[in-house]
Each structure stands twice: as structure tokens, then as C-alpha cells.
């Protein structure tokens, strides 16, 4: 996408603001500026955030892939919602990422930080592909975007097992 039309694209600016918002949420949670460690039921607020964020991605990504093939006419609407749904999930995951400030080395699952990098790269490669940023590399963004999905699921299983102390 050309520079001027990119800057006039409201979806692009929405994506930029949502990315900045995610960074702010991660910092605010890390600094415990709200009671992130409070319990809702048996689970702490920042862990709920991880469960909700990862749950949204894990459910909506295959759903998107399925619906776009099954109902080709809804492709455009699905495509727009794919970005917003995943950016919303990124906000939740960022709130969970703030748990990093609390985790001691002996309980570190060893996979959470890596998973946050994977989700960040998924979001960035998706945005680069969607808005044709560096168009000469479009096929690379596409390849990375799709292959990172595999990493997301593998690390997620590992992370949850680690959090439950099963591995
Ligand atoms: C995209 C998804 C996720 C990301 C990026 C993520 C990231 C992180 C990070 C950075 C940490 C701190 C360092 C570490 O222990 O590895 C962590 C810890 C933790 N995560 Fe996640 N997480 C995700 C999903 C989940 C889910 C779905 C659960 C629910 C089972 C979960 C449960 C936990 C728990 C319980 C800890 C704390 C470990 C402890 O204190 O013993 N996470 N996560
Ligand atoms: C954690 C977040 C995300 C995951 C796991 C994810 C996953 C996927 C998957 C599996 C596909 C292929 C669907 C199919 O054709 O069957 C896809 C396509 C796509 N996604 Fe995402 N996505 C994420 C976030 C985003 C974001 C934030 C954007 C930004 C706009 C985006 C943009 C795209 C684009 C442009 C395509 C079409 C790629 C192509 O076929 O050329 N994605 N995504």
C-alpha cells in the first residue's frame, strides 16, 4: 500500500493504536497499577487474562479458516474481524504477560516469554501483510504468519502443562 493511502486507512490507525494500547496494558500490569494479583474464583486476574486471550486466538483462528472457505461471500467481513478479534486477544495476552514481574526463576515455565514473542510476531506479520507494508516481502510475511500459527499451538500446550506443573 502506498504511503499516503496507508495513512488514510482507518483500519491501519486502529491497528497502531491497539498495538500501543497492548504495550501500555503490559506495563501497567507489570507494575501492578491495578489489583492484577486479585483472585476471581481460584484464579488470579492476570491468569484469567491469559486464558481469555489465548482462548480467543485458539478458537477464532481455525473458525476463521473454516468459515472463509465454507462461506466465501462473507470473506471480506471475516477478514476485517480476523484483525480486530486477534488484536483484542493481544490486549488480554499482554495483561497476562505482566505476570512476568512476579514469576520467580524456580517457577518460570520457560515458555511464556517465547509465546509472547510468537504472538507479537503473528500480529506484526499480519499487519505487514494486510497493509502491504514492504510489499516486496509480502510472501515472506505470509509464510511467517502461517508458520508461526504452528508454533503458537505447540508452545501453548507446553506452557499450560508447565503452568499446571505437569512438565
Ligand atoms: C498467548 C498465550 C500466553 C502467553 C504469551 C503467556 C505468557 C506468560 C509469561 C510471559 C509468563 C511468565 C514467565 C513464565 O513462567 O513463562 C507466564 C506465566 C504463567 N502463565 Fe502464561 N501465557 C499464555 C497463556 C497462558 C494460559 C492459557 C494459561 C492458563 C493455563 C497460562 C498460565 C500461566 C501461569 C499459571 C503462569 C505462572 C507460572 C507460575 O507462576 O508458576 N498462560 N505466562
Ligand atoms: C495471534 C494472532 C493471529 C493468528 C494466530 C493468525 C492466524 C492466521 C491464519 C491461520 C491465517 C490463514 C487463514 C487461512 O487462509 O486459512 C491467517 C491469515 C491472515 N491473517 Fe492472521 N492471524 C493473527 C493475527 C492477525 C492480525 C492482527 C492481522 C492483521 C491484519 C492478520 C492478518 C492476516 C492476513 C492478511 C491473512 C491472509 C494471509 C494470506 O493468506 O495471504 N492476522 N491468519
What end-to-end distance do the CA atoms of the chain give, in Å?
45
pLDDT digits (tens, 9 = 90+) for 66-99: 999 999 999 999 999 999 999 999 999 999 998 9
The share of the chain scoring above pLDDT 70, in percent, equals: 98
Mutate which of 50, 80, 86 to test ligand 2's pocket (most atoms within 8 Å of Cβ)?
Answer: 86
pLDDT digits (tens, 9 = 90+) for 147-158: 999 999 999 999
Domain ranges of the chain: 3-163
Q: Tell me the C-alpha to C-alpha distance, in Å, between residue 53 and each of 10, 50, 163.
A: 24, 5, 16
Q: Give the span between the Cα atoms of 106 and 14, in whole angstroms.
A: 39
For ligand 1, whether the C-beta of 58 sits within 6 Å is no
For ligand 2, whether the C-beta of 123 sits within 6 Å is yes
Amino acid at each position: 500500500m502506498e504511503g499516503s493511502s496507508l495513512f488514510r486507512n482507518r483500519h491501519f490507525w486502529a491497528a497502531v493504536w491497539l498495538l500501543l494500547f497492548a504495550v501500555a496494558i503490559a506495563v501497567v500490569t507489570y507494575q501492578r497499577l491495578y489489583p492484577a494479583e486479585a483472585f476471581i474464583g481460584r484464579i488470579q486476574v492476570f491468569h484469567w487474562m491469559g486464558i481469555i486471550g489465548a482462548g480467543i486466538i485458539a478458537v477464532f483462528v481455525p473458525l476463521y479458516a473454516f468459515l472463509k472457505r465454507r462461506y466465501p461471500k462473507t470473506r471480506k467481513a471475516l477478514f476485517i474481524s480476523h484483525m480486530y478479534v486477534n488484536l483484542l486477544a493481544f490486549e488480554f495476552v499482554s495483561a497476562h504477560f505482566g505476570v512476568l514481574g512476579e514469576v520467580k526463576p524456580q517457577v518460570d515455565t520457560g515458555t511464556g516469554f517465547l509465546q509472547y514473542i510468537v504472538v507479537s510476531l503473528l500480529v506484526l506479520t499480519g499487519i505487514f501483510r494486510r497493509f502491504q507494508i514492504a510489499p516486496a516481502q509480502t510472501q515472506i510475511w505470509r509464510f511467517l504468519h502461517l508458520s508461526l500459527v504452528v508454533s503458537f499451538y505447540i508452545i501453548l500446550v507446553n506452557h499450560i502443562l508447565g503452568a499446571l506443573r505437569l512438565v
